[in-house]
Amino acid sequence: MNMQYYNAVVEMEKAGVDAEFLQGWQGGYLLNPMREEQRLTEAYEAGYAAGQEKDTEAYKEWIAA
């Protein structure tokens, strides 16, 4: 198991990150294909881009208030 991936997901979940961002981040990190166009959201796309970059800090902008 990739500990960077696991630790990042746990940290995001504990912080209360937007679920769409988290799903996007996971897909981008794992290099999965992006969702179909009609299901894309701003949070998902931001998460996907951050995941592709292996950015473990970008989620902080997507924590629910």
Q: Which domain holds residue 48?
A: 3-61
pLDDT tens-digit profile of 21-57? 999 999 999 999 999 999 999 999 999 999 999 999 9
In this prediction, residue 1 carries a pLDDT of 62
- Give the three-state DSSP class for 16: coil
In this prediction, residue 64 carries a pLDDT of 79
pLDDT category, 60, cuts 50, 70, 90? very high
Number of domains in the chain: 1
Among residues 63, 65, 56, 60, the alpha carbon closest in space to that of 25 is found at 56
Among residues 37, 36, 11, 38, the alpha carbon closest in space to that of 22 is found at 11
